[in-house]
Structure 1
């Protein structure tokens, strides 16, 4: 039985709920948060700590699930690894690729698992989309778009660390669409070149925290990609998390529905007459990303498997993030070295 402790109960409660849903092979044995009122939300026979060092020394745990501010991801992760704990870490993996590298080296030296909670990879519709893309039904993929706008002011109070570029590592790119960027890598492989422009128009944000951004990408496959994001939109409405244009079909996700139009489901020779068909998401993907994600982590630790979103994989998501910030700073396209 894998004994798991959760650190950071503001963002970490979803992990607590997953562990309390009677998952096979693991149990929640301890939690840690600086605020007593958050600890009191966790019910049951679970040991509670307000001090992280004491948590690592005394908690009966084999693994740590961490949901803390970005600036301490590397520091707290290295401490957990030094104490021999496997690690499930909220995204982004770290503030930059150099920090990720140090974490991966420590995990390798200790023989431990690092998995990043890139939850789109474990979300049912995303897995259904990957199945369709991997089937080849869309033909050669040429164009890709993924957008996300979400007004943080509705969710996070003014003065919170997430608006401070020094504490978060940036703004909307690293704090919001790191989901999209990681998912695009998962679906289409690595990006080789990026060009980005940021805007800084939010009074709540400081220290280089961009609240709006546009990114152009060229993938190693030759496909072209585009992404738009903002964490201060007037309304939370965008073109959707995924639009894929292939030689033989198009896949899109809009208003909660995955749709596809392809040569496989259309006999018309006219683009005007071709229609999208709704895609039913298979039950094989489960119903809840948090359950899927935690189940995968437990299985990987128990059987020494490499996670789908391992630290060795996810350093490339942060390399992509680093390149986007470099492009926005220099005003030039940036080639990414892996």
Structure 2
């Protein structure tokens, strides 16, 4: 039979209330009492009944995470940051996918409501007014990661995608590239797609380089979209000397198709990625890329959410800095 708080109180010679305060870390006792109670609890192999506790506290100690259908490795570091912070603070994590372009977002939110999560983290899914109202009606605290809305009352953490893309293309221009393609971005994606395309265009315009829309190859940020883009560049005899990619996986797709067609990176064509995900330093050659601090984004978002849950404080939005990580996939033209 499992030990109870009453058993611990009897063996330790303290009140049930004192044991409860020690077990739940509520304070109001001295260090000697704490050591005694915890030692007895360990000896009796006591385990907290989190389900019963959650009914009393109206808390499930659970963080929900909603993300799109996974087509890239982008999400791994973000999820690890969320999970590490959650477990450090005694929370578990429930993860669900909202499908391509967030098609199942309402089903995902209803699931989180049914599971009575204490807070919700939404990653890279575009929210519209209806979804925001649904979240408000469910009464669940939430934060957005790598996405945002036009409403000031929806907190988010993300990089400035326009500025980050501009930085990447500007670097290629500084290395004397003038015919620069772009691959992998979805122009209908207002969160990560169109801002990166617009940053690419603005960098070209600021250097008086003509924008050729035929050099912008749309995609879904995947490896396959990069392969397809490079194949089109080759088939149409595009004289690109460099390609800026909307993700590292799209960049690997570019490099893969170059290899299949006896083109060398960066000797024949330079490539810049986006995200600084794990694959970026595994590629041959190692990939120059725009770094999003993905793990830190997950940690910081989860810390902000838990602080709001526990202390009833407002979650503040934050734009976090990007960085260009220079490796071996760009050649300076003479």
TM exceeding 0.5: no
Q: Which has the larger radius of gyration?
A: 2
TM-score (norm 1): 0.34
More strand by share: 1
- The structure where helix makes up a greater share of residues is 2
